Amino acid sequence: MTKIDDVARLAGVSTATVSRALRGLPAVSAATRRRVLAAAEQLEYAVSPSASRLAGGRTGAIAVVVPRITRWFFATVVEAVEEFLHESGYDLLLHNLGGREQTRQRVLRAANLHKRVDAIMLVATPLRPADLIALTKLELPGVTVSSGSVVPGWPCVRIDDVDAARTATRHLLDLGHHRIAHISGDPEDELAFTTHLDRRRGYRDALRDAGLAPDPGLDVESQFTIDGGTRATKELLRRGEPPTAIFAACDEMAMGAMTALRDAGLRVPQDVSVIGVDDHDLARVVGLSTIAQPAAEQGRLAARMLLDPLVGRRPEPPGPDAGAGLAPARRASGDTPETPVILPTRLIVRESTAPPRAH
C-alpha cells in the first residue's frame, strides 16, 4: 500500500507539504502542487478522509443527542441529519438518552466529548444548569432542534408549537365543537421536553379567543406514544360525559385516542373528532387530521447550519421552499445567534374530524 512518505520521496518534498498540497491548503507553490499531484497519481495514492481530518485537528463526526430514538419525530430528524452528514463526508455519533438520567449526565456532561466530535446537535433535549455549564466548557459549535433550551451562541431550528396547537384547536372550533379535550405530555417524565407545554398553551389560547374557559377535566397528561394516548383517552372517558373532539399533542397520541374510542364503542368522527400534530407516516393511513410539521427539513437545515462553517462553506439562509413548502421559514424576533429559525406548519384535514353530531 502506498504511503504518504512514498509520495513525498518521489516528489522530493516533505510529508507535510504533500498533506497541504493534496488538501488544497495555501502556502504551496503551483509548481510544487503539480509535482505532488503527479507523484500521487503515478503511485495511485488516495488520501484517507479520516486521516486528512485528523491532520487538521478534526474528528469528522457530529454528536446528535435525542431523548428517545423510537419516537417518530426523533427518528425522522436523525435520518435526515445522517443523510446530510454522509453526503458531506461526516459521521453521526448518536446518543439516545432513552429516558435514563445516568445516560443523560454521562453524555451531556462528558468532559472528553470534544476529543470525539467536532460539533453537537441537541434534538428536543432540555438542559439543566449543570448541562449548560458543561456544554459551554466544551467550546464546541452546536445547534438545537425543536428545543426550549437556549445555549449561548448556538442557533436553533424549530416550529412554532403554540401556533400549531392554536391552529388545530381552531379547526375543531370552526367545525362547531365546544367540548374539546386535550391529551398531552407527562411533566413527570424525567426527560420531558417543553413541546407539550407550548402546545397546551396554544390549545388554551384558542379556547379563550373563542370565549370558552379551559376545563381542567378535559386536560389529561400522558406519554407521547400510542399507548400514552390510549391511556389518556380512557381516563377522559372515565371522567363522565365524553368530549365531542380531542386535540392530541402528537399524532401517536392521536392514534392511541382513536383506538381507545373505538374500544369504547365510539365512532371517529361521528361521535368524537380527533386531530394531532406531526403528519406521522401513518396519519394518512388512519385518516388522521393533523398539523404537519417538516421534521426531516428541521434536521437537514440544522445539519447544514452546523456543518457549513466546519467545511468552509458559506452558510445559506433557509429558502422559500424550506419546511412544508407553503410558506417561507422565518426568524423569530431578535438578532442573536440563538434566535430560532421557525419552519412553517400546515393544517391537513382528513376523515378524523367533522362537525359535532346534532342531538
Series of mean pLDDT values for 10-residue runs along the chain (359 residues)? 84 84 71 87 69 58 89 93 88 83 71 78 85 83 84 90 97 97 77 78 97 95 93 95 96 97 97 97 97 96 88 55 47 65 96 89
User: How far, in whole angstroms, is CA 226 from its chain's centroid?
Assistant: 20
Q: How many whole angstroms from its chain centre is CA 99?
A: 17
- What is the per-residue pLDDT for 172? 98
Residues in the chain: 359
- What distance in Å separates the CA atoms of residue 80 and residue 333, rounded to the nearest whole number? 27
Residue 89: per-residue pLDDT: 80
Whether a cis peptide bond, with omega within 30° of 0, leads into 269 is yes
- Report strand pairing: 142-145 vs 156-158: parallel
Contact call for residues 31 and 59 (beta carbons, < 8 A)? no
Quick one: cell of 264?
Answer: 369504547
Query: Considering Cα of 263, then 266, then 269, then 273, what sign does the dihedral take?
Result: negative
State residue 25's pLDDT score.
Answer: 58
Q: Provide the pairing of β-strand 91-96 with 119-123.
A: unpaired
Strands 289-292 and 346-348: antiparallel
pLDDT recorded at residue 44: 78
3-class SS of residue 274: strand
Distance CA 307, CA 90 (A): 9
- Name the packing angle between helices 129-138 and 101-108 (round to 10°): 30
SS3 of 325, please?
coil
Residue 122 DSSP code: E
Neighbours of 288 (CB within 10 A): 26
pTM listed for this prediction: 0.79
Contact between residue 104 and residue 127 where contact means Cβ atoms under 8 Å apart: no
- Which amino acid does the sequence have at 222? S
Interatomic CA distance for residues 337 and 124, integer angstroms = 18
d(CA 156, CA 166): 22
